[in-house]
Each structure stands twice: as C-alpha cells, then as structure tokens.
C-alpha cells in the first residue's frame, strides 16, 4: 500500500533522531544560547540512545523560543537527519524542546513531537537494528530474530523487484517495525483502526528527485505476524516495488496502476508460470490469486470500470478493497501479456508524467474506453472458468 501525502516531510520524519556531522542553517535571532544546548543534545543522543543506528547527519534548528520565567523556556525546533547509505536528502520533523538554565547555561530537558507532529520510532521503545544485504530494518521493542526475518524477506524481494523494474532505483530498502498496530498508526499520524488489515505501507515523496530521502516501509506487526511465508514475501515485494517506482510515481498516477503494478511484480513468475524472478516462491493462477473478482465474475458481476482511487480507501469494505487490488493487478497483467513487460514499464512512467489517458494513447495506442473493454474481457478469460 502506497501512502501518498502532500506534506511528506512530516510523514518521513517518523523514524528517529540522528546526529549532526555538519553545521546547519544559522540560528534564528535571539536563539543562539538555545541552539548551543540543542547541538549538545544532538551529539548526546547520537552517541548514546541511537548509537547503533547508522546515522549520516542529525541536527536541530531552534525557532520560536518562548521564555517561562528566568530559568525555563520552550521552543519549536526542526529536526533534520539522514541515514547513512540510504538517505540522499534530509528527513525533517517538527519538535518541541524544553529548556532549563543550569549553572549559567541552557540545557535541553525534554524533546517531544511538536503539536500536530507524529512521534518518532525511538519514542516507542528501544530501537533494534538489523542490517541485511539490501535492507536496513529498525524496530521498536521487537526482538532481533523477528527483525532478521523481515530483513531476510526484504533482501529476497529486492532482486525480484529489480528484475521487473531494472533501472532508476537504489536497490536498498528501509523497513520500520513498530511494536503494535497502535504504534504504527501513531507513526503515520492516523487512526490505527484504518490499518488493521493492512500488513505494511510505504511512505515517500511521490516523484521525488535523486536528493529525496529514502522511502520507509512500515510494517503492521499484528497483520504481518499472521501471514505465512508466501504472504510475507508477497507483502515485502509489493512494498519494495513502491520504493523502486517512487521517482516515476506522481499525483497523476492512478492507484489502480501503482497498486496493480506492485501486485504484478510481487506475483510475477508465480501467477502464470511465465518465468521471471518470482518474489513469492509458489505458483498461483489468476483465479487463485484474485478470489474476490473470481467469485464476482462467475456470478455475472464483471466490474464496469477500472477501480477508482476511492476504491483503495482504508475505510472501504475489506472485500471491496481486495477486489480493487485484484482489478489493478489484472489490468497490469493484461498490459504485460498483450503489449509486453517493457511497454508496461513505459506505460507506468508515462502515466506518472502525463496522466493515464495520454499514456494509454501514446504508449499503448488505445483509449480509456477500449482499454476498459479489453480489461473486462481479460477478467472473463482469466477468472470465468470454474
């Protein structure tokens, strides 16, 4: 599941604090003494609480100091951090810092999310770190064995995704594993109930350039735990595909395409026996992989149109949401089978750049109505036999 935000900096500022290795912007007027205290705080956290985390940079920029008597103050501060080997650009988050004057100098006494900002992973428990061959997994209050299993599944997903999407991505993934569904919702700044049946989501800056921070895959530990090996591999291949395609995904990309393509990559080589890297390690026919649509088609209820963005709402009925994913996947399955995998990749990029209608015309030489008719026929062909 791709979580798209317009204020992505706040979403990506979910993780943790990182250490400062280079000076940041000049402090705001009248904040120099507080900035010095914040710099000491940054150094202390980097070498203490988060020493195991591979940090490339971490700094606070103090703004809007509000005195509370002679020896107390509060301030807003912008946190900026980068993970070494993963973040090309800085992740930012708003923090509220408390200060006290001790021995003639200011000291940071509290560090919490600013009003309206999400908490950090490190605030949910001790941060565990596992470095895979192609992944960095960070967990809050999770045992190392579970984090290693997530890293292993992610490491298997990366080459499978690279085989389907060979260019334009870093081939490395950051995965966050909070302690509970409630903690996951807190990291996303959303009610936890909306993610109850969602095993993982990916946050990122749609269309971000090469200097954007790396995406974060956030695992729902409760939903992920009940999946079998196939399901876990599938989920991480799906989310890794969102990481790979992020720079070519924009607000113009319809969710049936972004989610359908991610499912197509995760199913690739396992749903129709046609080869490929295979992320999930087992053969499944389209009828087995799309049971919701299969039942609808066999009951004579072939969808009249491709799924809309609204069909992918977390608040949607679970069965309807599943059918939306299946419909998007089978649309990509159709394109790959009729026009070829290279054309499917070209179509994805063109849709993010120019919109799906133009992409259909320029890449596939068809129209929305004609493509929809082909898709409905494809559903009958793939799912209609009992």
End-to-end CA distance of the chain: 30
Query: In this structure, what token pair is assigned to residue 60?
Result: 């606070």
Relative to beta strand 173-177, strand 216-219 is parallel
Query: In this structure, what token pair is assigned to residue 181?
Result: 């569904």
The answer on pLDDT for 320 being more than 70 is: yes
| Every domain range in the chain assigned CATH 3.10.450 | 17-118
The DSSP secondary-structure symbol of 80 reads E
Q: How confident is the model at residue 53 (pLDDT cuts 50, 70, 90)?
A: very high
Quick check: 63 and 91 in contact, CB under 8 A? no
361-383, pLDDT tens digit by residue? 999 999 999 999 999 999 999 99
What CATH number does the domain located at 250-386 have? 1.10.390
Q: How confident is the model at residue 277 (pLDDT cuts 50, 70, 90)?
A: very low
The answer on pLDDT for 271 being more than 70 is: no
Q: What is the pLDDT of residue 16?
A: 28
Of the two residues 292 and 313, the one the predictor is more confident about is: 292
The answer on pLDDT for 134 being more than 80 is: yes
Structurally, what CATH architecture does the domain formed by 120-247 represent? 2-Layer Sandwich (3.30)
178-235, pLDDT tens digit by residue? 999 999 999 999 889 888 889 999 998 776 666 778 899 999 999 999 999 999 999 9
Of the two residues 40 and 278, the one the predictor is more confident about is: 40
The answer on pLDDT for 15 being more than 80 is: no
Mean pLDDT of the chain: 87
Lowest-confidence region among 33-37, 55-59, 209-213, 218-222: 209-213
Ramachandran angles phi, psi of 140, nearest 5°: -110, 115
The answer on pLDDT for 273 being more than 90 is: no
- The model carries a pTM of 0.87
Query: Tokens 């030489």, residue?
Result: 365
Q: Any idea of the CA torsion for 142, 147, 148, 154, to the nearest 10 degrees?
A: 170
Q: What is the pLDDT of residue 12?
A: 27
The answer on pLDDT for 290 being more than 70 is: yes
Q: What is the pLDDT of residue 19?
A: 29
Count CB-CB contacts under 10 A for residue 343. Answer: 15
Q: How confident is the model at residue 17 (pLDDT cuts 50, 70, 90)?
A: very low
The answer on pLDDT for 65 being more than 90 is: yes
| Every domain range in the chain assigned CATH 1.10.390 | 250-386
The answer on pLDDT for 14 being more than 70 is: no
Q: What is the pLDDT of residue 270?
A: 53
Q: What is the pLDDT of residue 10?
A: 25
Q: How confident is the model at residue 6 (pLDDT cuts 50, 70, 90)?
A: very low
Helices of type H across the chain: 8-12, 32-47, 144-164, 181-188, 221-225, 229-245, 255-267, 286-289, 291-298, 318-338, 341-354, 356-364, 368-383
Contact residues for 318 (Cβ-Cβ < 8 A; gap 6+):
197
- Report d(CA 256, CA 330) in Å as an integer: 10
Q: What is the pLDDT of residue 261?
A: 98
Q: What is the DSSP string of 155-197?
A: HHHHHHHHHHS-SSS-S-EEEEE-SSHHHHHHHHTS-GGGGTT
What CATH number does the domain located at 17-118 have? 3.10.450
| Every domain range in the chain assigned CATH 3.30.2010.30 | 120-247
Q: How confident is the model at residue 283 (pLDDT cuts 50, 70, 90)?
A: low
Sign of torsion, CA 51 54 56 60?
Answer: negative
From 141, 146, 110, select the one nearest 128 (Cα to Cα): 141
Q: Which residues pair with residue 77 across a beta bridge?
A: 62, 95
- Report d(CA 279, CA 265) in Å as an integer: 8
The CB-based long-range contact list for 262-265 (8 Å cut-off, 24+ gap) reads 262/2, 262/238, 263/238, 263/325, 263/326, 263/328, 263/329, 263/332, 264/164, 264/329, 264/332, 264/333, 264/336, 264/344, 265/160, 265/161, 265/164, 265/165, 265/237, 265/238, 265/241
């Amino acid at each position: 599941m791709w979580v798209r935000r317009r204020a992505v900096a706040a979403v990506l500022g979910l993780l943790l604090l990182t250490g400062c290795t280079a000076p940041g912007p000049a402090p705001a007027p009248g904040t120099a003494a507080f900035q010095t205290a914040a710099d000491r705080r940054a150094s202390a956290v980097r070498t203490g609480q988060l020493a195991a985390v591979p940090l490339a940079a971490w700094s606070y920029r103090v703004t809007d100091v509000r005195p509370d008597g002679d020896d107390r103050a509060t301030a807003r501060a912008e946190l900026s951090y980068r993970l070494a080997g993963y973040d090309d650009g800085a992740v930012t988050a708003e923090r509220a810092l408390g200060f006290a004057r001790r021995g003639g100098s200011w000291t940071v006494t509290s560090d919490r999310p600013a009003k309206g900002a999400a908490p950090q992973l490190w605030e949910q428990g001790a941060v565990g770190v596992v470095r895979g061959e192609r992944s960095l997994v960070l967990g809050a209050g999770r045992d190392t064995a579970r984090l290693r299993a997530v890293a292993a599944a992610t490491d298997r997903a990366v080459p499978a995704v690279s085989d389907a999407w060979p260019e334009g991505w870093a081939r490395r993934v950051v995965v966050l594993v909070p302690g509970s569904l409630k903690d996951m919702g807190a990291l996303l700044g959303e009610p936890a109930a909306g993610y109850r049946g969602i095993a993982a989501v990916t946050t990122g800056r749609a269309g971000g350039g090469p200097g954007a921070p790396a995406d974060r895959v956030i695992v729902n530990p409760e939903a992920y735990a009940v999946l079998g090996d196939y399901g876990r591999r599938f989920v991480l291949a799906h989310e890794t595909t969102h990481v790979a395609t992020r720079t070519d995904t924009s607000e113009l990309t319809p969710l049936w395409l972004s989610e359908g393509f991610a499912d197509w990559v995760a199913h690739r080589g396992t749903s129709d026996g046609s080869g490929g890297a295979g992320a999930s390690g087992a053969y499944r026919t389209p009828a087995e992989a799309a049971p919701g649509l299969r039942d609808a088609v066999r009951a004579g209820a072939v969808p009249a149109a491709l799924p809309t963005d609204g069909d992918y709402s977390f608040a949607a009925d679970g069965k309807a949401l599943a059918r939306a994913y299946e419909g998007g996947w089978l649309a990509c399955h159709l394109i790959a089978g009729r026009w070829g995998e290279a054309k499917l990749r070209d179509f994805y990029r063109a849709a993010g750049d120019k919109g799906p209608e133009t992409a259909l015309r320029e890449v596939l030489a068809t129209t929305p109505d004609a493509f929809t008719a082909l898709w409905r026929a494809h559903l009958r062909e793939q799912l209609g036999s009992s």
